Amino acid sequence: MKISAWNVRGFNCPINSEVHTFLKDNNVDILALLETRVSSANATAIISQKFRDWVVVTNYSKHYNGRIWVLINPKSFRIVSQKISDQTNKQDSSTRVWSNLDRALVNPSWPSGFPQSFAHFSESGISDHSPIIVHITEDRKIQKRKDFAYISAKAKSAKIALIECQAKLGQNPFSASLIQEERLKLKEFITISERRHQQQIGILKDVHGVPQFGHNQVSQAFQDYYQGFFGQSSQVEPLSNRDYPGSRLSTEDSLNMAATVTLKEIKDSLFSMDINSSPGNDGFSAGFFKSAWAIIGMDFSRVVYHFFQTKHMAKQANSTVLSLIPKKAVPSSIMDYRPISCSTVFYKVISKILANRLQKVLPSLVGEERAAFVKGRSIFENVMLP
Q: What is the pLDDT of residues 3-12, one digit of tens each?
A: 888 887 777 6
Nearest to 349 by CA among 379, 295, 298, 305: 305
**In this structure, how many other beta carbons lie within 10 angstroms of the beta carbon of residue 317?**
20
Q: Strand 132-135 to strand 118-121: parallel, antiparallel, or no bridges (unpaired)?
A: antiparallel
Q: Give the span between the Cα atoms of 11 and 18, in whole angstroms.
A: 10
Nearest to 322 by CA among 182, 170, 148: 148
Model pLDDT, residue 271: 94
SS3 33: strand
Model pLDDT, residue 43: 82
User: For 307, what's the count of Cα atoms within 13 Å in the CB-facing half-sphere?
Assistant: 20
Contact residues for 272 (Cβ-Cβ < 8 A; gap 6+): 352
Model pLDDT, residue 29: 84
Q: Give the span between the Cα atoms of 334 and 221, in whole angstroms.
A: 8
Once rounded to an integer, what is the mean pLDDT over residues 103-116? 68
Of 52-61, 134-143, 187-196, highest mean pLDDT: 52-61
The kind and range of the H/E element at 290 are helix 286-291
Model pLDDT, residue 384: 56
Residue 241 banded pLDDT, cuts 50, 70, 90: low
Res 167 pLDDT > 60: yes
Contact residues for 231 (Cβ-Cβ < 8 A; gap 6+): none
**In this structure, how many other beta carbons lie within 10 angstroms of the beta carbon of residue 315?**
7
SS3 225: helix
Q: Give the span between the Cα atoms of 125 and 131, in whole angstroms.
A: 9
Q: Give the span between the Cα atoms of 146 and 143, in whole angstroms.
A: 8
Model pLDDT, residue 292: 93
pLDDT tens-place string over residues 273-312: 988 888 888 888 899 999 999 999 999 999 999 999 998 8
**Angle at CA of residue 144, ends 143 and 150, nearest 5°:** 95
DSSP class per residue in 42-72:
HHHHHHHHH-TTSEEEE-TTT-TT--EEEEE
Once rounded to an integer, what is the mean pLDDT over residues 236-265? 79
Model pLDDT, residue 27: 81
Rounded to the nearest integer, the mean pLDDT of the chain is 77
Higher-confidence position of 88 and 266: 266
DSSP class per residue in 239-258:
P-SS--SS----HHHHHHHT
Residue 28 banded pLDDT, cuts 50, 70, 90: confident
